[in-house]
Amino acid sequence: MYPFVFGFFLFFLSFKTEAQDLHFSQFHNSPLSTSPANTGFIPDADYRIGVHYRNQFSNIMYLPYKTTSIFSDVQLFRDKFENGWLGAGFLFLNDVAGIGTLQSTKLYASVAYHQMLGNNSLVSGGFNVGWANKRINPSKLTFPDQFDGEFFDNSLPTAVTLVNTSIGYPDIQVGLNYAYFPNDNVYLTAGYSIHHVNRPYESFFGERSNLTRIPMRHIGFVSATIKVNPTLMVQPQIFYNNQSRASECNAGLIANINLGNEGENMLQLGAHHRFRDSWVALAGFQISNVMFTFTYDATQSSLSAFNQTRGASEFSLIRKGFYPGRGDRQSLCPTF
């Protein structure tokens, strides 16, 4: 009985604007989905490319969420602007919920400008513009009037009629960042972004009203990189986002341990707490300019009674690099 109730609940949320956007526990490894101001905001490289995968609630029938992200961004015109540069990139997102019942695909082009303020601070502003598409498979859905007294039977007739099974709309985000690096051992950054600035309509029933407009999503984050000694750097982080009546707050710490070769080999260990929801354990390993990170969400909320605390697993792979002939450019953040 529970899987059917949750299945209908998922379907219901897909039409309600109160439902939150997709998100990653590794928010720090998903820079362009966190804020477009992060485009080209790469203190220790000229370019980066990353892939990200999240598998959530896979042990609850009818309720898995599988989210994939691919992104890339570069720094441009470092020699053209006085103490500034342009960032350009793209972001691809795909999310499947409910064993293929609801699928979301989004593609964004992102631009940002970064300007040094003196020798120890930096301000960045950016935006992205993209196209979002959502598709639903009605043959895998059941509705309240298809309950036969014991089970939900989708072979029974239903009064629910969907006008569209595929919808698309433009989507716009904006963001602003500030970074402060007083010396070679400390790097502080804070940012704020607003998603769905244009508040697009989203409804499979063809309705266009305030109830079917996506509410703006507000994201704020603060992080630091502190070099404790030649073998250890720590990164305290806080991430908060709010959309309509839903909110999320993460706070945690990541330790970067130098394994030698001038910091090219590095081990990451850390943990975050998503308040009133879950604990997130993190482990990562860097070889040269490639970083692999794994996180696991252990559910602590009332949902743990259904998923046995097994919330989500998440993988990311990010490669950073310098343009040819630019490998000697000094990093803005602490390095080993």
pLDDT at residue 309, rounded to an integer? 62
pTM for this predicted structure: 0.86
Q: What is the spatial distance between Cα 3 and Cα 64, in angstroms, rounded to a whole number?
A: 11
Q: Helix, strand or coil for residue 57?
A: coil
**Domains of the chain, CATH where assigned:** 2-321 (2.40.160.40)
Phi, psi at residue 224, to the nearest 5°? -145, 150
Token pair in block for residue 261: 């070769």
The string of pLDDT tens digits covering residues 228-251 is 999 999 999 999 999 988 899 999
Token pair in block for residue 88: 């350009």
- Given pLDDT bands bounded at 50, 70 and 90, which one contains residue 8? very low
Q: What is the spatial distance between Cα 169 and Cα 14, in angstroms, rounded to a whole number?
A: 16
Token pair in block for residue 237: 């982080």
The string of pLDDT tens digits covering residues 21-44 is 777 999 999 999 999 999 999 988
pLDDT at residue 19, rounded to an integer? 45
Q: How buried is residue 136: exposed, middle or buried, by Cβ count under 10 Å (0-12/13-18/19+)?
A: buried
Mean pLDDT of the chain: 86
- Beta strands of 153-261 (E only): which ranges? 166-183, 186-195, 217-229, 232-243, 246-258
Q: How many CB atoms lie within 10 A of CB 18?
A: 11
Q: Helix, strand or coil for residue 31?
A: helix
The string of pLDDT tens digits covering residues 61-103 is 556 788 999 999 999 998 888 889 999 999 999 998 876 578 9
pLDDT at residue 20, rounded to an integer? 52
Segment 310-315 mean pLDDT: 83
pLDDT at residue 3, rounded to an integer? 40
What is the SS3 assignment for 11-41?
Answer: HHHCCCCCCCCCCCCCHHHCHHHHCHHHCCC
